[in-house]
Amino acid sequence: MSASSERRKQFEELIGHSCADPQLLEMALTHASVPNNPDNNERLEFLGDRVFGLAVAEMLYKAFPQEREGDIAKRHAALVSQPALVGVADALQLGSHLKLSAGDAKAGGERKDRILSGALEAVIGAIYLDAGLAPAAAFVEKHWRKLLAHSATPPEDPKTQLQEWAQSKGLKLPAYKELSRTGADHSPVFEMEVTVEGHGSFTASASSKRQAEKDAARKMLDKIGGAS
């Protein structure tokens, strides 16, 4: 067995799914920065993001039959956030299995939140294409079950939380700034920064400005101890 095949087998054991089409998993773990390689994980990330969102929505629908749509939406936003994805990616040691360009590898790309979260969504997309929705949803349910049970009440919007915290301390309102927009028109990636007076700045990337702002705010709340 080749070294690449052995590594793929090890990762399949970690995710609990053996791909009938090994190329799908290889593609999911190949970042778009790898030169002269059109078989990267961008398209799988796009698909996996949608499958992931649906799987989490169904999980919440079943777990909280009495909750209103608004409260379920708050839970959904927290569970599909970049920090949640990165936490699961770290638990799966996903970074050590990624194929990156020499530049990204040298810059520590295997530890970057945007690369990890995107690759994990691509893995979900690969499982979906390989075996269908049920195995993909089972993967999500297995790895997000603990996060689902973490909070007895729906989490508050992190931007609202951060604003209320700043006001309670007599500080200026958090300031958000767009740092960059990359990716294709149909699949943009926004990098947003939040700054709080006296507490520095945090950045996050996501497929929408609002989600990137939320993820950056959540990072800031983790630092200041204001997260719910």
* Sequence-ordered list of residues with C-beta below 8 angstroms from that of 39, at least 6 positions apart, any chain: 23, 26, 27, 30
Helix (H) or strand (E) holding 195: strand 189-195
Residue 87, CA distances (Å) to 64, 91, 191, 218 in order: 23, 6, 19, 13
From the candidates 121, 130, 213, 215, which is the catalytic residue? 121
The pairing of beta strand 175-182 with beta strand 189-195 = antiparallel
* Sequence-ordered list of residues with C-beta below 8 angstroms from that of 26, at least 6 positions apart, any chain: 4, 8, 39, 99
From the candidates 49, 110, 113, 213, which is the catalytic residue? 49
Q: CB-hemisphere CA count at 13 Å for 199?
A: 24
182 burial (CB, 10 Å; 0-12 / 13-18 / 19+) is exposed
- Known catalytic residue at 121: yes
- Known catalytic residue at 49: yes
The catalytic residue positions are: 49, 121
